[in-house]
Amino acid sequence: MKIVRKLNAAELGQEGPRVKPWKVLVVDDEPDVRRLTTLNLLGFTFAGRPLELIEACSSMEARQRLAEHPDCALAIIDVVMETDDAGLRLVEYIRKDLKNGMIRLVIRTGQPGVAPERYVIDHYDIDDYKDKTELTVQRLYTTVRSSIKGFRDLQAIELNRYGLSLILDVTPDLYNLHQDKLEDYFQGVLVQLIGICNLGHSGMIASIDGLVATLEGEDIRVQAGTGEFDASPGAMGRRQEIVKLCTEVVLNHGMPEGLRNGALVLPLQVNSQVLGFVYLETGQDISEGDRELIKIMANQCAAALDNFRLHHSLEESYNEAIDMLGHVAEFKDSATGMHIRRIQTYTERLALAMGCTSAEALTYAKASRLHDVGKVGIPDHILRKPGPLTEEEFAEIQRHTLIGDAVLKRSPSLAMARLVARSHHEKWNGLGYPDGRKGESIPFVARLVAVVDVFDALVSVRPYKGSWQKAAALSEIRRGSGQHFDPAIADTFAALIENGDMDDLIEAAIQGTTGLALDH
């Protein structure tokens, strides 16, 4: 993996990355002291970033300035202002009320007798104590530099902790990644890169601009971003520009004009296939050690992308298998086929109403399509018989649950559908078939399908019956609650029917169409 770097901005006429200053709050009731501090720190830079001095003439004004600038790196605070201990009360407010442990606090007093050094250091969470008489230009420079360095290092630690927490939260799901998890993982990696390499902090300092994107054919999808590439609407223009330029870099090995000075582009690739890229705008030189670390983390991103792609390939194969077997059942019996498609939508809506997540509801809905797949093994003269079935014919019909189970057990990925195929005719009271399972021993998804299957069959036109009215079919569901059906599921389904949430499917059943069952 090669890191491509934009080295010469002058040749291309490009600006460097947007650099934000270190914010320093100067709190002192003497205007001359504040003015002298500003003069003594003219031209100060640290890690390529200048200072922005924010002044306050009292502890109360300082509280307002902190509310306006919560990302201050350093506060230089006088002790005696509106009261003899105003500066010390301000320190307590910052640490205890604001719970800001990051900002570096330096006490600077012209009356050391009022606030003795040892007492203040022992009793207040400060980082340095200076007498105004000893704070020469050089010592002020040293104090500010060491304080900002400490702030930066604390931020790096915090970034590492936060980035690591994002990665660890996602790690258990790395072999079952979904879009939201992938974005969390990338965001964690990006934060780790910024923190470990001391590149800065997005959001709070935003001196670094970076993003991670994937390439899916011609579709470029940004996964995570910081600084100018965060999720805000105003960042979209710059995002699109960088995505286009970086795509050219990683796919065509070109170096187009438009990338800023100090920009790093890392391809995310598995073997020779490029899956995406990482882009960072650093504004500073990257050591060889940090370069190697960036490469390692980029490799981890590439592996996650490849796993994500394989996972979704398996999901697509599963969906294709569901559709294929569903079409087999539809080919066997067109009336049953349209019933199958409606059942999918019934099941999804009912599962959502029962409190299932969207992902769970969709899984149950797809599995429900194969509830009658076993009917492929039932003779046509029985399936399509216009009159009542004999006892022997009904026993033959019951075999479709076992046939469906036998068909689906060959594929572990169809385990959910297999539960539905075998158990959707079990009854809450234990008098169903084929196993006589009772109550909650019946799989939840099968209990869902049991209700919607019966209801749709009642309101549908079949060779052996006409369509029931909605009210009559609903009464039958209520009558079976606690006997045939799980009472909680039956009650929830009845509420959906009464609210009109299933009217489109009921109308489709009466007309012999699919309704909305092919939404997915």
358 contacts 178 by C-beta, under 8 angstroms? no
Backbone conformation region of residue 160, classed left if phi is above 0, alpha if psi is from -120 to 50, else beta:
alpha
- Sheet with 45-46: strands ordered across: 45-46, 49-56, 22-27, 74-77, 104-109, 128-131
Q: Dihedral through CA 293, CA 295, CA 300, CA 302, nearest 10?
A: 170
Catalytic entry in 6, 20, 366, 375: 375
User: Which amino acid appears at position 312 of this protein?
Assistant: H
Q: Which long-range contacts (CB under 8 A, 24 or more apart) does 441-447 make?
A: 442/486, 443/419, 445/347, 445/364, 445/367, 445/368, 445/416, 445/419, 445/420, 446/419, 446/420, 446/422, 447/485, 447/486, 447/489
Could you give the CA distance from residue 330 to residue 439 in angstroms, rounded to a whole number?
31
247 contacts 220 by C-beta, under 8 angstroms? yes
Could you give the CA distance from residue 56 to residue 452 in angstroms, rounded to a whole number?
69
Q: Which neighbouring-strand residues pair with 76? A: 26, 106
Active site residue 130: no
Could you give the CA distance from residue 398 to residue 508 in angstroms, rounded to a whole number?
27
447 contacts 485 by C-beta, under 8 angstroms? yes
Could you give the CA distance from residue 337 to residue 369 in angstroms, rounded to a whole number?
9
Could you give the CA distance from residue 331 to residue 337 in angstroms, rounded to a whole number?
7
Measured at the CA of 501, the angle between CA 498 and CA 505, to 5 degrees, comes to 110
Tell me the CA distances in angstroms from 229 to 193, 211, 263, 280, one per residue in order. 15, 6, 14, 10
Measured at the CA of 454, the angle between CA 448 and CA 459, to 5 degrees, comes to 125
Active-site residues, by number, are: 375
